[in-house]
Amino acid sequence: MTESYDLLVIGSGPAGEKGAAAAAFFGKRVALIERAPHLGGAGVNTGTLPSKTLRESALYFSGLTQRGLYGIDYSLRAGLTVRDLMHREQVVVAEQREWIKRNLARLDIQLYRGTACLEDAHTLRVTGADGQVTRLSGTVILVATGSFPYRPPEIPFDDAAVFDSDTVLGMQCIPQSLVVVGGGVIGCEYASIFAALGVQVALIDGRDRLLPFLDAEISAQLRDRLCDIGVALCLEDRVAACERTASGVRMALRSGTVLESETALFAAGRRAAVDGLGLENVGLALNEHGYLDVNERYQTAVPSILAAGDVIGFPSLASAAMDQGRIAVLQALGLPHKFRLPSQLPMGVYTIPEISAIGETEESCREKGIAYEVGRAKYENTARGVIVGEKHGLLKLIFGRESRTLLGVHIIGEGATDLIHTGMMAFEAKEPFDTFIDSVFNFPTLSELYKLAALDGFANLIGKPLGP
């Protein structure tokens, strides 16, 4: 017997769960297949939420925020264990798993536990843990299986001393030292989190600057702040050899530097999680970057098979994946919708300090020949910034010299990933930067940074800088 559905969804992460919910909301018969023990995908279980909750725990237990607030040198709480550190993460993850379970039940989405394999463009074979096979057919199939960390074959991963970004949260104790390989978003986030906990951290990356997609000024501030909390940066260098030792890990770099540490984290790339999915049965394959190709409607080369979320690669954001899943299934099933992805997506980096950005950087403006001006506001020049002890934060507006239209917003500091949305709305509406001058913001708030940055931009535009 083959059970028939309007939509089959493989994977319960952000793209899969939201795609399934959108179709079920409009009365479609939906089945969702999940092979992992828990619902939620990497976003809930190993990536987005766990790492961000760990960040908050690190800030709490380390007293790092209080140091700036009170000028007191707090020490890490005596006797802190991994159990202490991960307690809040476990609570948050458990609540999110339960929320997803209730949402699926509320919308009458049929959940199948097992591994899905494509038999043809409309049929899945689902094999349960007990070996029982169920066949499902669907008008449309959404592949939302996410991604997994790339593990170079020459690296001795053992998830005891050498971890990837999925297994690092399983550490049994807080290490004395850690080498992080990969200066991308994940590497920088974990480097800052462990440094806040007093771990001796070295960060290795082959590029000459951290997160080169950021505005150069913001990237430089991140570098300085990481150095301030004790991260040793090894830029323009790569791992030549890595081996386990009795005390941990020895890593030889191409520069000749040798690093000895208790643990190592490799955060250098991810790949689509499609093992066992049977792509070859329907004539599909991954591209050269290790992801599935889709068109603007999130269709693969087989029109009835859609893909969304991390399995298609960039931008690999949970926020974008949710809407990708919704848009994909609603369009494919001919259902009414108003969803669309904006022209630019806000980037959130949960390092210590937070970073968020949208739109053009100074470098991209110069490359494109755009005449631009900049307005800046420092956190320390706002009452709220002083109150919360944020000494180094910066909000930066980039706008056209002639059009005055907002071209980019870049923030580093407390609450950056929340603050960005004010700028994002103005950016999407193609508002002039003067909009912030004409607005009144609550006092004292960090949102005032927008007005201060706009005033600074206006002064720069007319050639009368306001000064520091």
Query: Is a pLDDT exceeding 60 seen at residue 66?
Result: no
- Tell me the per-residue pLDDT of 123-179, one tens digit each, with 9 for 90 and over: 999 999 999 999 999 999 999 999 999 899 999 999 999 999 989 888 888 899 999
For 266-316, the three-class secondary structure string (H helix, E strand, C coil) is ECCCEEECCCCCCHHHHCCCCCCCCCCCCCCCCECCCCCEEECHHHHCCCC
Rg from Cα positions in the chain: 24
Confidence at residue 344, expressed as pLDDT on a 0 to 100 scale: 85
- Tell me the per-residue pLDDT of 395-411, one tens digit each, with 9 for 90 and over: 999 999 999 999 999 99
What is the band of 76 on the pLDDT scale with cuts at 50, 70, 90? low
* Residue 388: φ, ψ to 5°: -85, -5
SS3 48: helix
Confidence at residue 326, expressed as pLDDT on a 0 to 100 scale: 95
Please give the domain boundaries of the chain with CATH numbers for all domains: 2-148+271-332 (3.50.50.60), 162-268 (3.50.50.60), 353-461 (3.30.390.30)
Q: How far is CA 334 from CA 28, 120, 139, 293, in A?
A: 11, 22, 12, 22
- Tell me the per-residue pLDDT of 311-369, one tens digit each, with 9 for 90 and over: 999 888 888 999 999 999 999 999 987 667 777 889 999 999 999 999 999 999 999 99
Structure token digits, residue 116: 């899905």
Query: Is a pLDDT exceeding 70 seen at residue 4?
Result: yes
Contact present, 318 and 300 (Cβ < 8 Å): no
CA 57-226-62 angle, 5° bins: 25
User: What is the value of pTM for the model shown?
Assistant: 0.90
Query: Is a pLDDT exceeding 70 seen at residue 110?
Result: yes
Query: Is a pLDDT exceeding 70 seen at residue 468?
Result: no
Mean pLDDT of all residues belonging to the chain: 91
Q: With residue 227 as reference, give the H or E element that holds it.
A: helix 216-228
The 3-state DSSP composition of the chain as helix, strand, coil percent (nearest 5) reads 35, 25, 40
Q: What percent of the chain has pLDDT over 90?
A: 77
346: nearest Cα among 370, 320, 365, 309: 320
